[in-house]
Every structure is written in C-alpha cells, then in structure tokens.
C-alpha cells in the first residue's frame, strides 16, 4: 500500500511539474504576441513559407532608414559595421559556431552554389540528395553533371528519411551528402549528428540546408559534426528577405576554393589599389561587396529576440504545438504526412489525403487563416508565439470546410 501511494505521489508530482513547465513556457512566449500586429487581422500558420516581421524589426529598419535619409547618410563606420559585427556574434552564438566560420549571403541557393563550385571535384565523384528535396538543394549540384559528377537520390519511407537507406546509397566515390535538416514538405527532422557520423565514416562531407530549422529547432553546428550549413533567414528566423547565412568548418574553409571574389574578399578592401592582397582567411571572403544592410538590421534584431527566448524554449514550444496539432488531427480523422518520434518532429505539420487542398487553402484564407499547399499537402507551420487556441481555431475552420475521410486500421 505504501509503495502504491508513493507511486501515485511521484506520478502526480511529475504531472504537476510538467503542467507548471508548460504554463511557464506559454507565459514566456505569450508576451511576444504584442509585437506581431498581424495577429489583429489574421491567424498566421505559414512560417515555413515566410514569417511576418515583428514590430521590433520594423522599428529597427525604420530607424536605420531615417538615419540614412536625414542625418548620418554615410553611416558605414558609425552604424553599419557595428550592426554587422553584432549580427555575426548573435547568429554564431545562437547556432554554436565560431564567428569566423560564418558568412552572410543573399539566400540558401547562393550558399549552396559556393559549396558546389568551390569543392575540387573529379569526374566520377558522386553526390547524394533526397529525392523530394527542395530545388535550392538540388540544382546547384545537378549543374555539376556537365563536369562528370554523378547525382544519386535516396527515397523516404512514409515521409521519413532513414539512415540505413542513406548508407545503402553511399559509394566509395560519394564525396558529398546534402540534406535538409527539416524537410519542407513533411516536416521530418533528421538527426544531424548521426548523419554526420555515418557520412564521415564513409568519407563523405555533409551539407545541411537549415532554412526550415533556423529560428525553430536547436542547431549546434560544432557538436553536430556537419561540415557546411546554409539557411535563408526569412522563414523561421523571422528576418527580411534577401539575407541568409553560410557556415563551414575550419577544415572545409581551408579546402574550399573561392569561386567568386569581390573588393571586400581581401584583407583590406579600403586599400583600393593594392591588388596583391591575400583573401581573408575566414568565411568573410565570401562576402563580396555591399551587404543587404536592411536585411542585416532586421536579422540583428530578430536574433536579439531569439537570444531572449533561448533556442530550447522556442523548440519546446513548437514541438508542443506540433504534437498537439498531430494528435487533434488524428482524433478528427485527418491524416498527417508522417508519424514519428519527437526527435524527428519539427514546426511543420502537413495534412495528406484532402481532395482539393488548394481549394481548402483558399477557403481558410477567406476566413483569415493562412497556411500553404505544397505538392498536394496542406502545410501548417505555427511559430513560438502561436497558441493552442490558434490551432483549435484552425481545426474548427478546417472541419467546417472539409469532411475528413475515415482512417481504416
């Protein structure tokens, strides 16, 4: 009897602690809803496409533009360089890389082209990709076929990419494996450390497209063991369009050729006529010229907010939301694109089996609820400031639009 009573006490204690933690988590993120004015007009669940800009970011950009317009017009040293330094430090510490390993780029595609064009290839080398990868992580490598590079594709099983299937596709000539951390279509999240260990054991480098994870799921570049990471910042990273990051290990930095150079690729770009300068010895050599300063100002403010929250808080809230949504969808008779353990889930939940997902999306939009359709799936992607009530509002409207098909077991 005593043991049973102790068991009940421990169980209730665990449940109470979990409930308290959840309440604190929602309380911490709830405060940030005030800086997203779009919430007054719509329910936005489409962060896997593009995120709304917070009022903090808008204000930071407006201040910068006013300064450039009225006061300190050539504010390169007084405003821009400090912003660049701050942004580099904030992003680097958030994803656990060294600042010198990080370069700011226009987008994911640009970064992946730097990798594709910078590696020293030999005819017959092979690259392994996922068969339903976002095109930004495909075309830069397909472009190498003209040099005799072979491209292999690995399939997924019920929305999941299995390490055993990746290993079966690796050959002695596989030089590079390029995957998304989070798949844009299904939301499947791969184990970066396990992927890196597997590929390195077979002599292949690992490149990661992290656009669907940066600002949503924790990234520890150093501990993961991956070699290269690229991510645009206009989705979960909640920054303006046209700004992204590229990160590489020191070993890859030494190995990678520099396919494009500009006046800021060298040690002192302001020593204009000294054409004999060496390139910078870090990732900044790939920042060729004038930056997207509006993008950087916004990114700097976005990552200030992320540091306030912490990557673990953001991820925990998102996984709680996606878990709730998956469970409720199943209860209501809808089918998700994949069912997996928590470590493979993300902020994306995609619904399959709808007869006309585009029509459903349009009707949701008329009800001021924004999601997206991708390849026959209805994709739902809340962010940390969304709530359970938001998801229930979405579900109620979805049920009003479409009658779910029964799930036979």
Cβ contact 146:98 at 8 Å:
no
Instruction: Return the pLDDT at 19.
Output: 63
Instruction: Return the pLDDT at 27.
Output: 78
Bridge partners (DSSP) of residue 208 are 179, 229
Sign (positive or negative) of CA dihedral 352, 357, 363, 368:
positive
Distance CA 186, CA 399 (A): 21
Cβ contact 362:38 at 8 Å:
no
Cβ contact 29:312 at 8 Å:
no
Cβ contact 84:291 at 8 Å:
yes
List, by residue range, all CATH 3.40.640.10 domains of the chain. 57-308
Over 60: is that where the pLDDT of 13 sits?
no
DSSP label of 217: S
List, by residue range, all CATH 3.90.1150.10 domains of the chain. 26-53+311-400
The band of 209, judged by pLDDT with boundaries at 50, 70 and 90, is: very high
Percent of the chain with pLDDT over 90: 86
Instruction: Return the pLDDT at 10.
Output: 52
**Ramachandran angles phi, psi of 278, nearest 5°:** -80, 155
For residues 274-284, average pLDDT: 97
Distance CA 184, CA 278 (A): 39
Averaged confidence pLDDT in the chain: 93
Cβ contact 212:162 at 8 Å:
no
For residues 329-355, average pLDDT: 92
pLDDT in tens, 216-243: 999 999 999 999 999 999 999 999 999 9
For residues 167-186, average pLDDT: 98
Query: What is the topology classification, in CATH, of domain 26-53+311-400?
Result: 3.90.1150
The band of 11, judged by pLDDT with boundaries at 50, 70 and 90, is: low
Burial class of residue 17 (count of CB atoms within 10 Å of its CB; 0-12, 13-18, 19+): exposed
Query: What is the topology classification, in CATH, of domain 57-308?
Result: 3.40.640
């Amino acid at each position: 009897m005593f043991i049973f009573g102790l068991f009940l006490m421990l169980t209730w204690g665990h449940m109470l602690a979990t409930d308290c933690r959840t309440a604190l988590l929602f309380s911490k993120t709830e405060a940030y809803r005030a800086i997203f004015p779009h919430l007054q007009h719509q329910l936005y669940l489409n962060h896997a496409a593009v995120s709304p800009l917070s009022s903090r970011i808008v204000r930071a950009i407006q201040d910068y533009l006013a300064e450039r317009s009225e006061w300190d017009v050539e504010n390169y040293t007084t405003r821009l360089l400090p912003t660049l330094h701050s942004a580099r430090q904030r992003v680097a510490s958030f994803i656990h890389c060294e600042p010198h390993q990080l370069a700011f780029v226009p987008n994911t595609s640009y970064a992946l082209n730097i990798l594709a064009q910078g590696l020293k290839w030999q005819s017959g080398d092979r690259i392994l990709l996922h068969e339903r990868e976002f095109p930004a992580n495909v075309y830069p490598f397909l472009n190498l076929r003209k040099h005799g590079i072979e491209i292999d594709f690995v399939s997924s099983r019920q929305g999941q990419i299995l390490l055993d299937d990746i290993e079966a596709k690796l050959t002695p000539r596989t030089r590079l494996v390029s995957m998304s951390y989070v798949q844009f279509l299904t939301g499947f999240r791969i184990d970066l450390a396990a992927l890196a260990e597997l590929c390195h054991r077979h002599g292949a480098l690992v490149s990661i497209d992290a656009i669907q994870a940066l600002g949503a799921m924790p990234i520890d570049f150093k501990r993961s063991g991956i070699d290269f990471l690229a991510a645009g910042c206009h989705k979960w990273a909640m920054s303006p369009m046209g700004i992204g990051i590229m990160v590489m290990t020191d070993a890859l930095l030494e190995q990678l050729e520099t396919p494009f150079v500009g006046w800021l690729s060298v040690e002192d770009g302001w020593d204009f006529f000294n054409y004999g300068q060496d390139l910078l010895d870090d990732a900044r050599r790939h920042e060729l010229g004038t930056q997207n300063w509006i993008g950087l100002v916004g990114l700097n403010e976005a990552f200030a907010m992320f540091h306030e929250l912490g990557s673990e808080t953001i991820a925990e809230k998102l996984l709680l939301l996606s878990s709730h949504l998956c469970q409720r969808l199943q209860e209501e008779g809808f089918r998700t694109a994949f069912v997996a353990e928590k470590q493979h889930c993300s902020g994306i939940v995609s619904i399959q089996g709808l007869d006309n997902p585009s029509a459903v999306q349009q009707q949701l939009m008329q009800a001021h609820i924004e999601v997206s359709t991708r390849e026959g799936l209805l994709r739902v992607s809340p962010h940390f400031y969304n709530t359970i009530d938001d998801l229930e509002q979405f579900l109620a409207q979805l049920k009003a639009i479409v009658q779910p098909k029964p799930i036979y077991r």
